[in-house]
Amino acid sequence: MAGVSYIAIVDDEEPVRKALGRLLRASGMEVECYASGREFLDGSARRRPDCVVLDLHMPGMSGLEVLCALRPARPSVPAIVITAHDAPEIRRQCLAAGAADYLPKPLDERVLLNAISASLRAAKTPENRT
């Protein structure tokens, strides 16, 4: 992962997925988009992303379930949960489930990019490597 960060985007909404993908690519990142949690878990097993931008409310497997599925992996992939339905209770649940950050939609690029860099920095620190 020298230089270019590899980011996974998981969102069942195609227009959102496409737009976020363009934004991160325009900011110099390598991006892979997934339409569901299941697709992402299969894909990330082949190539581990540096960070995942994860939508919360998805049919089938929810963002929270994906978070729980990611956790046993060591080191775990830092996940930034995004949602179009912001509620304090949900934020609490996501952070408790190990989300690196929790961002309500619509996302401003600075907020998203800062959250991604922060999670990448945190992932490099030794305590996260154990």
Partner 1 sequence: MDSVSSARDGNPVLSRQWWRPGLDASSVRWVLFVAVGYYLAARLGFAFTLRPSPLSTLWPPNALLLAALLLTPSRLWAWLLLAALPAHLLAELQSGVPVAMVLGWYASNCSEALIGAALVRAFVPGPLRLDTLASTATFLLCGVLAAPLLSSFLDAALVSLVGWGDAGYWELLRTRVLSNALAEIIVAPLVLTWGSFHFARLRAAPPARHAEAAALFAGLLAASLVLDLPQIGLHATPALFYAPLPFLLWAAVRFGPTGTATAIAVMALATIWGAVSGLGPFTGHAPAQMARDMQLFLIAVAAPLLLLAAALEERKRVARDAREQRLQLTHLSRVAMLGELSGGIVHELNQPLTAILSNAQAARHFIANNSADPQLLGEILQDIILADQRAGDVIRRLRTLFKRGETNFETLDANTLVRDVLRIVNGDLVLRAIHAEIDLDEPLPPLEGDRVELQQLMLNLVVNACEAMGGVEERLRRLAIRTRAGTDGGVVISVTDNGAGFAPEQYERLFEPFYTTKRQGLGLGLSICRTIVRAHRGRLWGTAAPGKGAAFHVHLPAMRPGRRP
Which residues form the interface with partner 1 (CB under 8 A)? 13, 15-16, 18-20, 22-23, 25-27, 57-59, 62, 84-85, 87, 104-109
Q: Give the Cα separation of 65 and 70 in Å (integer).
A: 9
User: Closest approach of Cβ 75 to partner 1, in Å?
Assistant: 28
**DSSP 8-state class, residue 83:** E
Query: Toward partner 1, which CB reaches closer, 42 or 86?
Result: 86
Query: Toward partner 1, which CB reaches closer, 76 or 93?
Result: 93
User: Closest approach of Cβ 127 to partner 1, in Å?
Assistant: 32
The CA–CA distances, whole Å, from 62 to 40, 107, 123 equal: 12, 20, 24
Asked whether the beta carbons of 94 and 54 are under 8 A apart, the reply is: no
